[in-house]
Amino acid sequence: MEMQIDGTIIALALGDITLEETDAIVNAANSGLRGGGGVDGAIHRAGGGSIMEECRKIGFCPTGQAVVTGGGNLKARYVIHAVGPIYRGGGRGEADLLKSAYRESLKRATEKGLRSISFPAISAGVYGYPLDEAAHIALMTVIDYVKEHREIDLARFVLFSRDVYDVFSSEMKKLMCCGRS
Which residues carry out catalysis? 40
The residue among 52 and 149 lying less far from ligand ADP, judged by its C-beta, is 52
35 is a contact residue toward ligand ADP (CB under 6 A): no
The residue among 164 and 175 lying less far from ligand ADP, judged by its C-beta, is 164
42 is a contact residue toward ligand ADP (CB under 6 A): yes
Number of Cβ within a 10 Å radius of residue 160: 18
What 8-state DSSP symbol labels residue 159? E
38 is a contact residue toward ligand ADP (CB under 6 A): yes
132 is a contact residue toward ligand ADP (CB under 6 A): no
State the DSSP H helix or E strand holding residue 66, giving kind and residue range, or none if neither.
strand 66-70
Contact range with ligand ADP by CB under 6 A, out of 47-55, 56-64, 124-132, 173-181: 124-132
Number of Cβ within a 10 Å radius of residue 108: 21
Per CB under 6 A, the list member of 78, 102, 119, 127 interacting with ligand ADP is 127
CA angle 52, 21, 111 (to 5 degrees): 65
Number of Cβ within a 10 Å radius of residue 118: 24
The residue among 27 and 69 lying less far from ligand ADP, judged by its C-beta, is 27
Identify residue 79 by its one-letter amino acid code: V
